[in-house]
A = this chain, B = another copy of it.
Amino acid sequence: MKNIGRTARLLTLSAAALAAASAGAAPSPTAVELAQQGKDLGWWIVEDLTTEIGPRQAATEAEAAARVWAVRRLNEMGFQNVREEKFTMPTWVRGDEQASLVGPFHPQKLAVTALGNSASTGPKGIEGEVVYFASFDALQAAPDTMVKGKIVFIDHQMAPTQDGSGYGTYGRGRFTGPNVAAKKGAMAIVIRSIGTDDHRNPHTGVTNFDAGVKPIPAAALSNPDADQLVRQWERAQAMRPAGGHGGDPETLRMKLLLTPRNLGQQTSGNVIAEVPGSDPAASPIIIACHLDSWDLGTGAIDDAAGCGIITAAAKYVMMAGQPRRTIRILWAGAEEVGVFGGKAYFDAHGKEKHAVALESDFGADRVWRIDFKLPDSAKQLADRLSAAVAPFGVVRGRQPANGGADIGALVAAGVPAIDLAQDGTRYFDLHHTPDDTLDKIDPVQLRQNVMVWTAVLAILANSSDAELP
């Protein structure tokens, strides 16, 4: 609750700004005016989901409970065609997890968490020599002999960025570091959490091994624990005699216990709801978030917030009067563990026409930029949208929109996209940790998201077929 109020100013809009934000929308009261009055719908959805369900890992009983909750709430809010669309997927679940540095210094426990798809160490755990790599690239460049039979550690220097771009660069240590280490014959791998905070809550997340590569135990340490490992590594290196080798008493050694399990194919599902448009021939707008979360926190910023934002905005547009186009809301299942919900949606609906796709899956801090990937026919539409969001402090970007994970297959297949890019400065402090909880959401910034989305959806849902075919 420490960051509240930074954008409060942006929510007290003048009548002129409101008019700009509502341009092209329905008659008075506009959707944006309704959003400004209806302060708490986005918050209410996030609070309700995180309080009554909490963590909801894909294809577990908790995610199933979240779908039941979702169908009930979406119906209660007055959306139409509310339904589950189930699918099956390979399912991995966490077990016990413990790590310690056991030599050459006094034994110390480390805060550790398994990465999704990690192998098990078995119930007795393993012990091995630690080998340090300053980066994923350094591991990739290392000869197999340096890694074989050891516990690999990958360090990095990720720092916060507003656009979240550090995730791609430094995230490789998690995405593919374990695969590279396994191919080189490592006993196990621990990485510095792909995160920017300084709390002893490690960041989980999925990793993937190539077909034919035998998975190894793979885990993340919190940043303070990674710092401790690095300090001990440096001290141990300084103690080693010249020409020292593995097995020296000065070697840094780790014990690791991880007992995750693979449950085989289990059931997950998407939840879909609609605001039906007045023109059945008009192609619909698809807006997405994901309902599943990692198991460590309650998935408030990732991604209850996204579901709260897009759904509140759709509700305000609906309240302002029936839009011309249908707005389809996708609360995707199983995003975290491999975007299975997005793929299932594409398999079921990819051949249907979609006017434009948008996604909210980067926390609850304010929208600061709008990006477009639209057909040439939509140039004026993009100008109108940019003007409508400017009063909320949102600037127009210079790069094409990316889309997002759950609409990724649609966008790759040519569906136009708009990004309402959120401020990610705090995001990787919390992402995939136990600290992803409701208290981290700034209600003022969450409201700014809802208002920006409302302004954008109101315009898009009433756009012409000439603009968005």
Contact = CB atoms under 8 A, between A and B. Distances in A.
Contacts of A50: 228
A93 to B, nearest CB: 14
A438 B227 contact: yes
Interface residues of A, number: 36
Nearest to A228: B51
A439 B224 contact: yes
A106 interface: yes
A319 interface: no
Interface in A291-307: 297-298
Between A47, A62, A108, A297, the greatest number of chain B beta carbons within 10 A of the residue's beta carbon is seen for A108
A198 B442 CA distance: 13
Interface string A428-449: 0000011101111000000000
A247 B434 CA distance: 31
Contact of A201 (B105, B200, B439): B200
Contacts of A19: none
Given A55-B108, A105-B53, A106-B54, A437 B201 contact: no
A111 B228 CA distance: 23
Contacts of A51: 105, 228, 231-232, 235
A198 B1 contact: yes
A121 interface: no
Nearest to A105: B52
A2 interface: yes
A223 interface: yes
B201 A199 contact: yes
Given A198-B1, A201-B200, A108 B232 contact: no
A263 interface: no
A198 B440 contact: yes
A223 B227 CA distance: 25
Interface in A169-198: 198
A105 B68 CA distance: 13
Nearest to A52: B105
A65 interface: yes
A228 B54 CA distance: 9
Contacts of A298: 108, 228
Nearest to A108: B54
Q: How many copies does the complex hold?
A: 2
Nearest to A235: B51
Contacts of A228: 50-51, 54, 298, 437-438
Contacts of A435: 198-200, 224
Contact of A437 (B65, B200, B297): B200
Given A111-B434, A200-B437, A440-B198, A106 B65 contact: yes
B439 A227 contact: yes
Between A1, A65, A198, the greatest number of chain B beta carbons within 10 A of the residue's beta carbon is seen for A198
Contacts of A53: 105-106
A461 to B, nearest CB: 34
Given A227-B438, A228-B437, A435-B224, A198 B106 contact: no
A50 B101 CA distance: 13
Interface string A225-239: 001100110010000
B434 A200 contact: yes
A439 to B, nearest CB: 5
23 contacts: A47-B231, A50-B228, A51-B105, A53-B105, A53-B106, A54-B106, A55-B108, A55-B109, A62-B106, A65-B106, A108-B298, A198-B439, A199-B201, A200-B201, A200-B433, A200-B435, A200-B437, A224-B437, A224-B439, A227-B438, A227-B439, A228-B298, A228-B437
Given A53-B105, A65-B106, 9 more contacts: A51-B105, A51-B232, A52-B235, A54-B108, A62-B106, A198-B439, A199-B201, A227-B439, A228-B298
